[in-house]
Chain A
Amino acid sequence: MTETLLEVNDLNVAFRLASANLTVSSDVSFSVDRGKVLGLIGESGSGKTVTSKAILRLLPKNASLEANAIRFKGRDISTLTEAEFNRLRGTELAMIFQDPVGSFNPVKTIGWHFRTVGKLHRGAGAPRGEIMKEAKEVLAKADIADPENALRKYPHQMSGGMLQRCLIALVMFSKPSLIVADEPTTNLDNLVERQILDLFDKLRRETDASFIFITHDMTIAEMISDSVIVMYAGQIVEQGPTEALMRRPQHPYTQGLVRTARELEGEVETLTEISGEIGTGVHPENRCRFAPRCPLYETACDHAIALRPVEGHGLVRCIKAGQGAANEVTP
């Protein structure tokens, strides 16, 4: 029996700009089970980062957030005061950013960061020796060869890959139940990316923490997640178990992504692209948002499309979903 850790209902995020209100995330609903990994996929501007930051209340001031409910461990956290919410951060909810170098305070040692987090969660009177001992253990778990030495170093003295390990260790140090990882391997080279992904894989098996893993790379999502959400222009276009979604993607956009990922694995001369761009964020209400780029577009697409369940899959936002083998992606 799996237990639902996080449940998001009808999340809407809009930015107030001088010219207009820009909706960047509309009617997003999903849930994360304890100990599971949810992959959140989409191209730049699809709203994946904004959606996850909204859950952690890290949006800039000109953003407005509306949600039916964001339930964490059964409690609605969207109505908490800032002080109450701050107690959840770090202890229960944590985030790993894209840029490991920038995530550390440049004038402080790695050890200082561990001490700060340690004191924050274990009380100011927590013995320093104990915090440092635990820090070394968690660094060793994150495959840092010489934790003792790492704690003494400043961020600029370490490589990006090492820092990402340290950051992951720092986040695991406070034992959160939900970790949002925002493209944690984007700034790293391929070899290091592989190692970091292996580390994530190891951690998810060793702890009962849940992850929301944001990425634009289908192969990474396939490797690491139990279920996947594909976002396009602020909407969820498809969601379901990773395996089914990768094998038989239903939405034309997902199909394009999966096809490209498969082509990258094989050796092809030219990659199939999804032509066009994601648009400005102002979308006509009465039309499928993917319509301008969709190879299957027809006049029936010119109305608001709802997310609907498809047999043997999850939810798909396309009128043609579930219409037989036409949707099969062959490598």
Chain B
Amino acid sequence: MFQRFLHDNLILTPFLKETVTSNQQKTSGEEIRMTRIRVRVPLLALGLLLAGSAYGWDFSVSVNGNDIVVNVTGMDNTTSRQTCAGAGVDLPGGGAHCGIPGLSSDTITVGCNRLGPHTVFVEVFDSTTNGQYETRLASADVTTPPSAGCPEYTFSASTFKALTHKYGAENYPTGQERDSQVLLYFKPIRVDPAVTFYGRVFDAKEGSTYRTSTNPNGDNIDTAAGKLAFSPSDTGSRDINFQAGTAPVKTMYLNTTGFAAGDNYTVAVTADPNLVSDPNFVCNTSPGCQQAGPITAWKRVYLEKKQMFRNGVFVAGSAVAGTNQVLVQIPAGLRWRNVVLRAGDSVRLLHAQRFDGLDFFPDYHWEDAMITAVDRVAGFRNRRLLTLATPLSYSYTEDTSYATALDDGVSDGAGNLAAGTYGRNEAYLGNTFAQAYVEFFSVPQSVREIPYLPVVRREAHVANKWFENTTINLLTRARPGNSNVKHILAGSGSPENSTSTQPSTSDFGSTGIAMSVPPPPGVDVIPQPNFSWTWVGGIERAVMQSGNAVRNLDPWIFNGENLVHEVAHGFNVNSVFYFAGDFGHCSRTMAGNPSLNCRMRSSQDPLYVAAQNADGIVGFHYSSDSDSEYMTIRTAMEPLATPIR
């Protein structure tokens, strides 16, 4: 047996909610049963016998003195192995008991309940709940007063993380229902309804390890935020007061900063009016004062991720759904012997919207197919007709947005599945950006790979072509990306000496961001760029190259550290030209580790150590609030990417 917190997602299907609440029955022993579910048992049993395994869980709720007792039965561990059961009174998410292999029944006792009616949330995870917790409701009436050992009241936060903005269609995490706002719960237990309580928001001590010299009682960046309200639509105020009231739970709303990730708050509640009148009031040492928090603001940044195939071809002409043949063309600069597609090989066909957005097939899609024949066609050295084992489910077409789009590799393609892709190492991404209070979230996307190019000559064109979560600017060709979406790509490389077909062994990544200052020559791209390329092919070549400063480094670790570097550029860190066209770098050491490079340290810096590109230790610098990648990332105004300096 072990303890775990409830899953983030509270599942309350309308059917179940309605079923349970409309069919409760009180027995003489104050037992409540889900009769409708039981009525269905004979029918279900037949079906389940036919299915051979699953059956529904059930529960009963009773009151024993002041305790509310929940008995859960019929949990199924046949496929999940694990079962969990938990219960909360008047609030969901009271924690759950779990076991592997799980038990089929469990009893949960919840004590210290206020006199009067309560709602009981029963939560179960088992083989029948589709990998999530299922929650059912019941009611219970407590007629025995709580003991003197019970607290006067409880005060809690629904979550300790406040997303400043959620731009995606996904649900908010438990405890949050809108941006920059966290739910707080006051539960009176032994308090007279007429008692007045006071609440105040405090600026909690900075939680990071690098920003250590700030005022512990006033280090939030957005000093105007941190207010309490009784309605989700109210701005609120730092101080509030309220009566305990008769409701089992009083909900409050903490309105946090809308941009300054890392700002944090504690909220104190007490019946002592000194909380709001005495500036020296300390909740920790005041009897009866309770605190919730610290609650910290976080940014959620969405990543659209693409990986380039290590070999493959482009679609020429059109391959229409229902046919089993695709005319293909090799990437510019190569010959057929470089491609080596043969009968028996499998390819993944990839379609993106046209570069200019005008499209007969406006969606993004892909499918796998096995090649049964590769045939030459008269008059072409660089094309072949692939015959596939089965007809295509979707259509694929050459991009004719501009005359040489196909030559540039800005077109639909077919990747050789056996060749694999240029992988992206995300091992360091989450932990490093968590120090800047940024969490990454994978944005919905249809296509995850892009066609092979031996080198990417037009990095903005290729990135834009495959960028799904964006709109097209019809003046400039820009695809800025939807709010807070960053486009990260792993590919072969930029060309050595502009048009070589070999990836550069000195250029390991490239990020395009919209800047508020005119870019110097060398960083000029399509306006409003939004891409971070990691040149995996270039890294792999460089670590094998005699005389290269990164020779013999681990290319996979290098890849992961480089990804952190490029994504940080996406936040417009170090928004200066460090050296000529060398933008966004610094000459600093890592916060808390002065012997190591800041991950954004410029290779032009005399103290730059190339070997640290792959030491597996990743971090940024902190010199002051105005000179730190962490702080730039934390304070970037949303929606990203909007440069702030």
B is a partner of A: no
Q: Which B residues fall within an 8 A CB radius of A?
A: none
Q: Which A residues fall within an 8 A CB radius of B?
A: none
